[in-house]
Amino acid sequence: MNRTHSALLSFMGIAALGGCGSALGAANEVVIGDIDDLSGNYADVQGQGGIEAIKMAIADFGGTVLGRKIVLLTADHQNKPDVGASKAREWADQNGLNMLIGGSNTGVSIAMAKVAGAKKVPFFAVGAGGSSLTNEDCTPYTIHYSYDTTSLANGTASTIVKAGGKTWYYITADYAFGTQLQNAASKVVEASGGKNLGAVRAPLGASDFSSFLLQAQGSGAQVLGLANAGEDFSNSLKAANEFGLTKSMKPAALLAFINNIHSLGLKSAQGLYLTTSFYWDLNDETRAFSKRFFEKMKAEPTMDHAGVYSATLTYLKAVKAAGTTDPEKVMAELHRAKINDMFAKGGYVRADGVMVHDMYVMQVKSPQESKYPWDYYKLVKQMKGEEAFGPITGLCPSARR
């Protein structure tokens, strides 16, 4: 009888030991956490490359700030809001988290932003697009860094409507990001004199786009707006090519990354308009960063890789300038200082948390135009930050005061 219960007790003991997680972050450390999709649909857009870029930024900064060692924690949110939010909370409670970087997936980022806001941890949304992060879901601690759905739509949709693509039909990723991207694009299309004929929502990570493409074809629209990202984007565009849909409709990438274009190949992707905040071949500074990144990851950096590098440096610079990791003071410094590095020139953080910087409308080159490996984009237009990100909407309470 006793043996039974001692066995049970030892079992509980094991469970308890499992519960004793890592100790609280030491006071001589600055803890940066990165929670991203490391295994799913968006893993190639940022993922491991993003972790590498953060490490590069920490190394470039010297590995310490204010004499404290900079520590990086990483986790895979598996595209589940509950996983991301619980991890963020755990780090804030247990590991003394000082800065949180949210990777791809708007749904997860919204959940993490809420936790970071409650725990007063500066939160940099880098890979997530949804502009609600700085509107109805904003907190005083969120900074939306690389791009958002507003700037993407302002770039791509207006360019295409001006080029004659007047009627649009959308294939939309069925969650926060997709709907926000579609809504933003629809508004821009209408404002520029075009017409929206309809939309179909496809689940995140769908493998078969045929029925959605047939619906799009049936609409008779001129432009096929792809309000999705990552592998969803590649798969839907590939399928559209295979169906011959691209002969009757012009595909528009509302969000495409350079690695998507690389995997699609220029033959399928040529002529595509897209908007990006970073291209590796823009100038000497971007080429220098990209060369170092390429050595590590064997691929040119996406705008998220560059963004996450810049975000880490920006945070560390703000800590140094503020002389403390106190979240209020660091946020004040972040809102005050201009951001000048290889990613952004004269960028600044607006009251609602948007990091305003120039965006580039690009067109994918044809195979003949491409002269060397990864020579994929030609610049159509450089948009000023104010034009790209638009005015403050007033939906964010902390920006209204």
Any contact of residue 121 with other proteins (CB under 8 A)? no
Can you tell me the distance from the alpha carbon of 47 to that of 38, in angstroms, rounded to the nearest whole number? Answer: 5
Contact between 12 and 85 under an 8 Å Cβ cutoff? The reply is: no
Any contact of residue 27 with other proteins (CB under 8 A)? no
Report the DSSP pairing between strands 29-36 and 68-76: parallel
**Out of 65, 70, 111, 306, the residue judged to bind other proteins by CB under 8 A:** 111
- Among residues 20 and 27, whose Cβ is nearest to other proteins? 20
Can you tell me the distance from the alpha carbon of 267 to that of 16, in angstroms, rounded to the nearest whole number? Answer: 57
Rounded least distance, CB 4 to other proteins, Å:
4
Closest CA to 106 of 227, 237, 259: 227
- Among residues 33 and 251, whose Cβ is nearest to other proteins? 33
Any contact of residue 94 with other proteins (CB under 8 A)? yes
Dihedral angle computed from the Cα positions of residues 207, 209, 210 and 215, in that order, rounded to the nearest 10 degrees: 160
* Residues of this chain, 197-256, that bind other proteins according to CB under 8 A: 204
* Residues of this chain, 2-21, that bind other proteins according to CB under 8 A: 2-5, 7-9, 11-12, 15-16, 18-21
* Residues of this chain, 134-153, that bind other proteins according to CB under 8 A: 137
Closest CA to 377 of 286, 273, 287, 288: 273
- Among residues 110 and 226, whose Cβ is nearest to other proteins? 110
DSSP state of 198: E
Tokens of 247: 């002969």
**Out of 10, 63, 82, 382, the residue judged to bind other proteins by CB under 8 A:** 82
Rounded least distance, CB 114 to other proteins, Å:
4
Per-residue binding string, other proteins, 35-64, x by CB under 8 A, is ---xx-------------------------
Strand, coil or helix: 399: helix
**Out of 61, 72, 166, 174, the residue judged to bind other proteins by CB under 8 A:** 174
Rounded least distance, CB 306 to other proteins, Å:
26
DSSP state of 365: P
Tokens of 90: 């755990």
Any contact of residue 118 with other proteins (CB under 8 A)? yes
Rounded least distance, CB 22 to other proteins, Å:
9
Can you tell me the distance from the alpha carbon of 103 to that of 229, in angstroms, rounded to the nearest whole number? Answer: 13
Can you tell me the distance from the alpha carbon of 318 to that of 341, in angstroms, rounded to the nearest whole number? Answer: 14
Any contact of residue 394 with other proteins (CB under 8 A)? no
Backbone angles phi, psi at 4, to 5 degrees: -50, -50
The site for other proteins, by CB under 8 A, has a size of 44
H or E stretch covering 15: helix 2-19
Block residue for tokens 């790209």: 388
Binding site for other proteins (CB under 8 A): 1-5, 7-9, 11-12, 15-16, 18-21, 23, 38-39, 75-76, 78, 80-83, 85-86, 89-90, 93-94, 106-107, 110-111, 114-115, 118, 137, 174-176, 204
